[in-house]
Structure 1
Amino acid sequence: MARTALTPQRFTTLGLAPNYVTPDASGVSFPSNGKQMLHVKNASGASVTVTLKIGKTVEGQAVTAPTATVAAGADKFFGPFSDNYDQADGTTVQVDLSAVTSVTVACLSL
């Protein structure tokens, strides 16, 4: 399965009413420019683990991707993402979610 490709939604001085989507089980991806944030809303009855994929290596060694938990019924913002999170293509960030049932996400841009 392909990741859900998110389109960044830009903040404006008049406000932003973001659109949220249910992510694919493979996770999400979005353009990388250092100004994107990911908002994860978990309406399920269990916590969801969010894994922020690191696309860089250090001296040829893979770096362990950081994880965070979004509690049941809670939401959390992630980012902005440095270029350490750029994938091999140098233009996207990838995020995995341990579950997607009753989870929605939006990519927000500063």
Structure 2
Amino acid sequence: MARTALPAQKLAALGLAPTYVTPDAAGVSLRSGGKQVLHVKNGSGASITVTLKIAKTIEGQAVTNPTATVGAGADKFFGPFSDNYEQLDGTDTVFVDLSSVTTVTVACLTL
């Protein structure tokens, strides 16, 4: 199953009305570039877990993927993302998993 690729939506001095999408169950991907943030809006009645996927290893050992909770009916911003979060394919892509996507929407915002 493919991840939902999120295009970066540029913030503007006169305002941005971002477009939110329902992510795929496999998660989302976005380009890092050091200026992007992920906005996760949880419209469900239960908390969800957001997992930032780290592909790198240190001395051959996998690094634990950091997680955060987005409460029921709440939203959170994640990022900006350093190169520690980029996948090893050379595309500056960040992978994010969500424990549930039911009534969850996301957007990638950039400075």
Aligned-pair CA distance for 1:13 = 1.1
User: Structure 1 residue 93: deviation in Å?
Assistant: 0.2
How many angstroms apart in 2 are the aligned matches of 1:36 and 1:65?
19
- Tell me the TM-score normalized by structure 1: 0.97
Counterparts of residues 10-21 of structure 1 (less than 5 Å): 10-21=10-21
In structure 1, how many angstroms separate the alpha carbons of the residues matched to 2:70 and 2:50? 7
Quote the residue 1:103 is aligned against. Answer: 104
Deviations 1:18-67 (A, max 9, x none): 10000000000011211110000000010000000112111121100000
- Identical residues among aligned pairs (%): 77
Task: Provide the rounded CA distance (Å) in 2 between the counterparts of 1:9 and 1:56.
Answer: 27
RMSD of aligned Cα (Å): 0.7
Q: Which runs of 5+ in 1 are unaligned?
A: none
Gaps of 5+ in 2: none
Equivalences for residues 1-110 of structure 1 within 5 A? 1-90=1-90, 91-110=92-111
**After TM superposition, what 4+ stretches of structure 1 lie above 3 angstroms from structure 2?**
none
Alpha-carbon separation, structure 1, partners of 2:45 and 2:88: 35
* Aligned counterparts of 1:63 and 1:10: Cα–Cα separation in 2: 31
